[in-house]
Amino acid sequence: MAFPKHLCPTSPHPMGLEITHARGSILYTQDGKAYLDFISGIGVANIGHTHPAVVAAIQAQAERHLHVMVYGEYLQASQTALAEKLSAVLPAPLSCVYFTNSGTEATEGALKLAKKFTRRRRLVSFDGSFHGDTHGACSVTGREMYRTPFEPLLPDVTFLPFNQVEALREIDESVAAVIAEPIQGEGGMRVPDAAFLPALRARCRAVGALLILDEAQTGFGRTGRLFAMSHWDVVPDIITLAKALGGGMPLGAFVASPRLMKTLSRDPPLSHVTTFGGHPVCCAAGLASLNVILKTRLSTRAARMGARLMSALRAIAQTTPAIVEIRGLGMMIGLELADAKQAERLVKRARARGLILGWTLHSDRTIRIAPPLTLSNAEMDQGIDTIHAALKR
């Protein structure tokens, strides 16, 4: 079997399901089984798998042209159209887009931009955060066990406790940027209190540090708003996007004001370049996906369906002592169990019953529940019933 022999292993126990095709919320495997997907490829399939509008956009762009030149040199219609649409739905002054291949590359670009613009070197992040796996992104990811094997990483990085306003006093005039997730996904679906993000915004503004909000997981309707930052009425200096941005294709971006972004075109020019970032096929897919999200009001639907899902899970929790806490916003929900063994058993038992669940990277007790935002009522009921049955055992 080629899978374990020729693909680099990053997990000692991969699921190993051989997917033949996927539609909506369902994954189909070679042995004829159908699985209800409750993790959406870790927040990628917000509009469901293999959406017809995205497939059509990919086919149309592939017939026009594929890669023709490195980023930013030729005018490519799909890039321009998606950048224009993103600028229209993001709050001012976030109107200048740099496309990347992934979320971790968006983090790298945002950090470089912040350091070059401010001419400062110190960075601040938060315990439990996750911003990617490349060298710089790993440097600002807030779990030591994932940083230590690769040290030395970037110098002058400080980690503060997440959701503690008093800790923000550590941010001073030496800081180039503070990077934070509006909701910590890999940290266990941790939602901050109402005061935290506004206080962080105010502190950064007071000391001249740039605020980077990482919406790779929370963006594009996942939390019941198009972007999670709007729950707290906070606008960052730079926002990073990925996962659902591409509609299933590899695409990321960092977005800032034109004033900030001009920094990358001078002293020296070409301060940040990419060959495949903003690939025209990926941008065509991303534009089609964003249009679906807006046209079908998936953000509103996520808020409604998420509230129903949370209510059902809380009802289960009343009869299941294994559940410690349920938290989240919209269709981004964490189900915390008493210990890691119970979480592992739940994931395995649910999979045996045809439901895909998983835990978060930094919290092996927290089950990730993040279905496609197009999930039907019947599919939601099926997922809830499966979780309940798996917990009963």
Total structural domains in the chain?
2
Q: Which CATH number fits the domain that encloses residue 123?
A: 3.40.640.10
Q: What is the largest CA-CA distance in the chain?
A: 63
222 and 79 part of one domain: yes
Structural domain ending residue among the three candidates 262, 295, 328: 295
Name the burial class of residue 366, with classes exposed (0-12), middle (13-18) and buried (19+) by CB atoms within 10 angstroms of its CB.
buried
**pTM, to two decimals:** 0.96
pLDDT of residue 393: 66
Residue-wise over 108-118: b if at least 16 C-beta within 10 A, else e? bbbbbbbbbbb
Domain boundary, last residue among 295, 323, 338: 295
- Is pLDDT of 350 > 70? yes
Same domain? 201 vs 58: yes
If DSSP codes are grouped into helix, strand and coil, which group holds residue 368?
strand
At 78, is the pLDDT very low, low, confident or very high (cuts 50, 70, 90)?
very high
Q: Provide the pairing of β-strand 323-329 with 19-23.
A: unpaired
State mean pLDDT over 11-25. 89
The verdict on 245 and 366 lying in the same domain is no
Structural domain including 258 reads 52-295
Q: Are residues 263 and 324 in the same domain?
A: no
Q: What is the Cβ-side half-sphere exposure of residue 264, based on CA atoms within 13 angstroms?
A: 22
**Residues 377, 323 share a domain:** yes
Q: Phi and psi (nearest 5°) for 134?
A: -75, 175
| Mean pLDDT, residues 381-393 taken together | 92
* Residues 302 and 384 both lie in one domain: yes
Of 228, 263, 295, the domain-final residue: 295
* Domain match, 281 and 345 both: no
Q: How confident is the model at residue 84 (pLDDT cuts 50, 70, 90)?
A: very high
- Looking at the fold, whether 117 and 239 belong to one and the same domain comes out as yes
CATH number of the domain bearing residue 345: 3.90.1150.10
In a shared domain, residues 221 and 272: yes
